[in-house]
Structure formats: structure tokens, C-alpha cells
């Protein structure tokens, strides 16, 4: 039986192990941590449980697909609910609204709350859906770096329709032409943060992202986000995949320009192919010391990172739901601080996720578990201790102001995750959440391929390579890798 080694058990690594096992490979996954999932993990903080990383779940069919591939009913192992509401939004002037995921209801809301033309909103969402369908076969489901991607009906259609994707306008420019209310423009600009980018630089092509919520919907796993990891690890193990924890890969072994295994704890482990789920930059730097790092890997701009406060809250907030956004009053300045000054402004946009709204045992009765995230730059040696102290103070002041109470007194316990700890815990280069940013019209083409062009049998998956970061795209990267590997 042919063998495969997967380096890292992030969600893409787990999915790759399942797919390659189904192709007939005996798969071993080596993970440096004591647990699987990478960012998609959990921890307990006193009597509060927290999902450590990604909190938004869209396109669950990509998870279901893995169970179906193995001949199993997903509902026997992994369950989720569809949400009627995407997020609750709070603006500094007191404007608030709960955002439905139904397009018609959303268009009505935008008309009633912000004075937008309902048909203009529906036209925008329809264009978002069409752009997604154009980009899907070329930019999401297949390798950008294989000629075969373009030499078929869907690929050619995608290429011929690239002019429809607004690649030469920024998100901000396109949204400003479409909507008249600055709050609506800010609302849609926010979708750039879904892959760690700047809406004032990122191409308007990223306006496909709203379609993920309004076209496919948002969901919540009944056992929390970590159940995506747990259920897929169990599925992989049922397929014969072996997970080795606390096993840090030291080097990918190369013989005659072919990947032939890895070295772990000084011991060589041989295999027919290797898949790295480690970020692409540290893969080259640490695991391929004798292979020249491609220039595009060294020169690419990092995506944003995150500063996360995990707060056990001693009371309940009925005005909040699972997803909540407290907007900055000056969005452009916020992104300028992050991407130009590599710092954090005094009025950051705050995202609050409260899983105990749906999974009641995540917090004590009449209490809540708050995952509070602020977008920050990737780690380039900033004085993070000072940034954390100032941002914590500003975050508490903003929440107190917009919620109308002394919020600091509600915090029962706390832990903090910053770009340094994200980098150390997950091997994410500079702690960037999504690898590289999409702040350039050609960003999709700058991402590293899912295979090595010089080393046979070496593949790459995860958020730092094609097609990008976030749970759906990481799962698609695993699907692309599987498609590249011969059965």
C-alpha cells in the first residue's frame, strides 16, 4: 500500500488525510500540539468553554461531503442548525439592526433602516452570486497553476467572464458607487475582513463573499465549532488514518527531487508523498532548508491577524446574539492603522461571538462566554504588550458606551490570544490568520500552488496556499490536493 504523511492537523490537513485515505493511501498525520484542529480547537476557562479560533460557519456541505465520500450519513456524526440571523450590528451613532440572512428580508431592512433602494440591494446580492459562480471553477475548486483548469468549458467560461469581476476597482470604490448610505458601504466593506484584507485596497472581486452568507446561509454546529474538528478526526480514524500528537516534524526529506518522508524526533519516517498543512513560509524556512523559497512567498503581504479576549461574562445580554459587530466610527483609518502603520487605532471595530447563546452549557446559568476579537496587523516585532493594554482599555470603553453600562465589572475571568501566541501555537507565519492578504487584483495568483513545481510528491494545503483562508477554502484546498494526487 502506498503511504502518505501529512504535516499538521489543521482542518485542511485532516480533510486531506480523509481524501487520500479514500484514494488508497495509508496516511499518518504528525501534529506538534497535543490536539488536532490548529486554530479550530477549544479550551476551558473555569466554568466557561471557548472555541479558540474560527467562529463563523458557512457552506457546511463541504464538511458533509467528506462523510458522504466515505459512505457515511453526516447526520449520524455531525449536526448543525441554520441561523435565521447572520449578525447584529452596532454603530457609534446608536443605529442598531439584526441582519437576516434571507435576501428579501435583508433588502427590506436596508431600505427601512438605512434608506437604501431595495432593488439596488437585491441587484448587488444577485451580482455577488453570479461572480461566485464565475470564480468557483477557476479560483476555488481547481488549481490555478495547472493548464487543465482553463482547458475545459467551465474554466474557459470563467476566464472569458473575468471582466465581470470588478478586478480594477476596490471594494470601497464599488460599494460607494452602489450604495448611498455610509453605513451600508461600511457593512459591505466588512466582508474584506473574512480573508484578512483591506477593503480600501482589495479588489471588488471580494464582493463575492456576501453570497456565502446570503446565498448559502450561516450555521452553528450543535456541539460548538470544535465539533468540525472532532467529527472529522473521528471520521479520518475510521478510515484508518493515524494521528501522532506531540510529534513536531523537523524536516521534509527529499531524495533525487522527490519527497520521500519526514524526520520526526530525529527519526526518519518514509512515505510515497508528503502533504504540508503548515503555513507555506515556515514550511520552506524550517522543513525545506535546502530548497530555495519562491520569491512570491517572501514578498507577499501578510493578512491581518487578531487580538482575542476570551471573557467569561457574569451576566446575560439579551440584545446580543451569536455574532455581533460594534463598528469603528472611522473605518478607513482603522485599516490604515493595520496595514500601513502596522498598529491598532483607538477605535477598533469589535467582533463578539457568544456561543452560549446556542450551546447553553458553554457558560454558567445567566452568564455568557464572550470571544471578543479586534483585527490587528501581523506580528512584525511590535510592542504587543502595550498594544494589548491600550486595545483592551479601548475595547471595554467602547462596549460600555454602546451597551450603556460599566462593562469592565461584567468580566469574571479572562485569557488573551495575540499574533505572537497565534504564531507559536499554530505555526501561522507572523500570526496572520489567512496567510497572505488579498490587497491586490492579482492576489489569487500570488498564492502558492497546492503542489511543488520542483519536488515530486510534495503538496500543500491550508489557508496560506490556494485558494485561501477560512474553513470552506481550507476544505477546498484539501480537495484540490486530492485531485492532484494520482489514485
DSSP for 135-173 reads HIIIIISS-TT-GGGTSSHHHHHHHHTGGGG-TTSBHHH
Given a cut of 70, whether residue 448 has pLDDT beyond it is yes
pTM: 0.94
Nearest to 372 by CA among 356, 349, 389, 390: 349
* Percent of the residues in the chain that have a pLDDT greater than 90, as a whole number: 87
What is the pLDDT confidence band of residue 167, given thresholds at 50, 70 and 90?
confident
Per-residue pLDDT tens digits for 211-250: 999 999 999 999 999 999 999 999 999 999 999 999 999 9
Looking at the structure, do residues 167 and 243 belong to the same domain, yes or no? no
Q: Give the end of a domain, one of 175, 210, 245.
A: 210
pLDDT at 152: 64
Based on the fold, state whether residues 228 and 284 are members of the same structural domain.
Answer: yes
The domain that holds 139 is classified in CATH as 1.10.405
Q: Are 207 and 197 in contact (CB under 8 A)?
A: no
pLDDT recorded at residue 444: 57
What is the distance in angstroms between the CA of the first residue and the CA of the last residue of the chain? 11
Main-chain phi, psi angles of 430, to 5 degrees: 60, 15
- Considering the domain architecture, whether residues 162 and 202 belong to the same structural domain is answered as yes
Residue 22 lies in a domain: yes
| Angstrom distance (rounded) from CA 186 to CA 201 | 14
The confidence score (pLDDT) of residue 145 equals: 63
Contacts of 24 (CB under 8 A, 6+ apart): 1, 2, 487
CATH code (residue 289)? 3.50.50.60
Pick from 210, 239, 273: which residue ends a domain?
A: 210
In this structure, are residues 272 and 103 in contact, taking their beta carbons and an 8 Å threshold? no
Say if 8 falls within a structural domain: yes
Q: Are 58 and 191 in contact (CB under 8 A)?
A: no
Q: Is the dihedral of CA 137, 141, 145, 146 positive or negative?
A: negative
Examine residue 188 and state whether it is found in any structural domain, yes or no.
yes
Residues 137 and 206 in one domain: yes
Q: What is the mean pLDDT of residues 58-71?
A: 98
Alpha carbon distance 177, 199 (integer Å): 14
- 172/207 Cα distance (integer angstroms): 10
pLDDT higher than 90, residue 184: yes
Give the tens place of pLDDT for each residue, 259-286. Answer: 999 999 999 999 999 999 999 999 999 9
In a shared domain, residues 124 and 200 = yes
Confidence class of residue 445 from pLDDT cuts 50, 70 and 90? low
Domain that holds residue 239: 3-38+224-300+442-484
Domain shared by 197 and 237, yes or no: no
Q: Is it the case that residue 385 has pLDDT exceeding 60? A: yes
137 in any annotated domain: yes
Q: What is the pLDDT of residue 144?
A: 65
User: Over the stretch 450-460, which tens digit does the pLDDT of each residue have?
Assistant: 999 999 999 99
Say if 254 falls within a structural domain.
Answer: yes
**440 vs 376, residue with greater confidence:** 376
Number of domains in the chain: 2
- Are residues 238 and 182 part of one domain? no
Q: Could you tell me the pLDDT band of residue 161, with boundaries at 50, 70 and 90? A: low
Q: Does residue 473 lie in a domain region?
A: yes
pLDDT digits (tens, 9 = 90+) for 324-350: 999 999 999 999 999 999 999 999 999
User: Given this model, what pLDDT does residue 136 score?
Assistant: 82
Q: Which of 178, 210, 242 is the last residue of a domain?
A: 210
Highest mean pLDDT among 155-159, 289-293, 359-363: 359-363
Please say whether the beta carbons of 45 and 413 come within 8 A.
yes
On whether residue 371 sits in a domain, the answer given is no
| Same domain assignment for residues 161 and 201 | yes
Averaged pLDDT of the chain? 94
pLDDT in tens, 356-380: 999 999 999 999 999 999 999 999 9
- Look at residue 139 in the predicted model and tell me its pLDDT: 73
Pairing relationship of beta strands 242-245 and 85-90 according to DSSP bridges: unpaired
139 and 173 belong to one structural domain: yes
The three-state DSSP-derived secondary structure of 40-104 is: CCEEEECCEEEECCCCCEECCHHHHHHHHHCCCCHHHCCCEEECCEEEEEECCCCCEEEEECCHH
* Residue 99, domain member (yes or no): no
**What's the confidence (pLDDT) of residue 151?**
55
Query: Residues 117, 109: contact at Cβ < 8 Å?
Result: no
How does strand 3-7 pair with strand 26-31?
parallel
Mean pLDDT for the stretch of residues 469-487: 94
Amino acid at each position: 500500500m502506498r503511504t502518505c504523511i501529512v504535516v499538521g492537523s489543521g482542518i485542511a490537513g485532516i480533510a486531506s488525510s480523509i481524501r487520500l485515505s479514500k484514494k488508497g493511501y495509508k496516511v499518518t498525520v504528525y501534529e506538534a500540539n497535543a490536539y488536532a484542529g490548529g486554530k479550530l480547537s477549544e479550551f476551558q476557562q473555569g466554568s466557561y468553554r471557548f472555541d479558540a479560533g474560527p467562529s463563523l460557519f458557512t457552506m457546511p456541505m463541504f464538511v458533509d461531503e467528506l462523510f458522504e465520500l466515505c459512505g457515511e450519513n453526516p447526520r449520524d456524526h455531525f449536526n448543525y442548525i441554520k441561523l435565521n440571523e447572520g449578525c447584529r450590528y452596532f454603530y457609534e451613532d446608536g443605529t442598531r439592526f439584526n441582519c437576516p440572512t434571507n435576501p428579501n428580508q435583508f433588502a427590506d431592512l436596508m431600505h427601512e433602516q438605512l434608506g437604501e433602494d431595495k432593488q439596488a440591494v437585491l441587484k448587488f446580492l444577485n451580482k455577488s452570486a453570479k461572480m461566485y459562480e464565475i470564480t468557483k471553477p477557476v479560483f476555488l475548486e481547481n488549481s490555478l497553476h495547472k493548464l487543465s483548469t482553463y482547458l475545459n468549458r467551465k474554466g474557459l467560461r470563467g476566464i472569458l467572464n473575468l471582466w465581470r469581476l470588478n478586478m480594477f476597482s476596490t471594494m470601497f470604490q464599488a460599494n460607494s458607487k452602489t450604495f448611498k448610505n455610509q453605513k451600508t458601504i461600511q457593512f459591505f466593506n466588512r466582508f474584506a475582513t473574512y480573508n484578512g484584507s483591506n477593503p480600501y485596497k482589495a479588489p471588488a472581486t471580494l464582493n463575492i463573499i456576501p453570497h456565502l452568507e446570503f446565498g448559502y446561509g450561516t450555521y452553528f454546529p450543535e456541539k460548538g465549532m470544535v465539533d468540525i474538528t472532532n467529527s472529522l478526526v473521528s471520521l479520518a480514524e475510521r478510515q484508518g488514518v493515524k494521528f501522532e500528537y506531540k510529534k513536531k516534524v523537523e524536516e521534509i526529506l527529499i531524495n533525487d527531487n522527490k519527497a520521500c518522508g519526514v524526520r520526526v524526533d530525529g527519526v526518519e519516517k518514509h512515505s510515497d508523498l508528503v502533504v504540508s498543512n503548515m503555513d507555506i513560509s515556515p514550511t520552506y524556512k524550517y522543513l525545506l532548508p535546502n530548497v530555495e523559497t519562491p520569491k512570491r512567498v517572501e514578498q507577499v503581504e501578510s493578512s491581518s491577524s487578531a487580538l482575542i479576549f476570551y471573557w467569561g461574562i457574569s451576566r446575560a445580554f439579551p440584545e446580543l446574539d451569536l455574532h455581533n459587530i460594534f463598528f469603528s466610527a472611522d473605518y478607513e483609518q482603522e485599516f490604515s492603522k493595520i496595514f500601513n502603520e502596522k498598529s491598532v487605532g483607538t477605535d477598533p471595530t469589535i467582533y463578539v461571538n457568544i456561543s452560549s447563546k446556542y450551546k447553553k452549557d458553554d457558560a454558567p446559568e445567566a452568564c455568557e462566554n464572550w470571544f471578543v476579537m479586534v483585527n490587528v496587523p501581523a506580528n512584525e516585532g511590535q510592542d504587543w504588550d502595550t498594544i494589548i493594554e491600550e486595545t483592551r482599555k479601548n475595547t471595554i470603553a467602547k462596549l460600555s458606551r454602546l451597551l450603556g453600562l460599566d462593562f469592565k465589572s461584567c468580566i469574571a475571568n479572562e485569557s488573551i490570544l495575540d499574533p505572537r501566541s497565534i504564531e507559536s501555537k499554530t505555526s501561522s507565519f507572523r500570526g496572520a490568520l489567512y496567510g497572505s492578504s488579498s490587497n491586490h487584483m492579482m492576489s489569487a495568483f500570488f498564492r502558492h500552488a497546492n503542489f511543488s513545481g520542483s519536488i515530486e510528491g510534495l503538496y500543500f494545503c491550508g489557508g496560506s496556499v490556494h485558494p485561501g483562508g477560512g474553513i470552506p477554502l481550507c476544505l477546498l484546498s484539501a480537495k484540490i490536493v486530492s485531485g492532484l494526487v494520482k489514485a
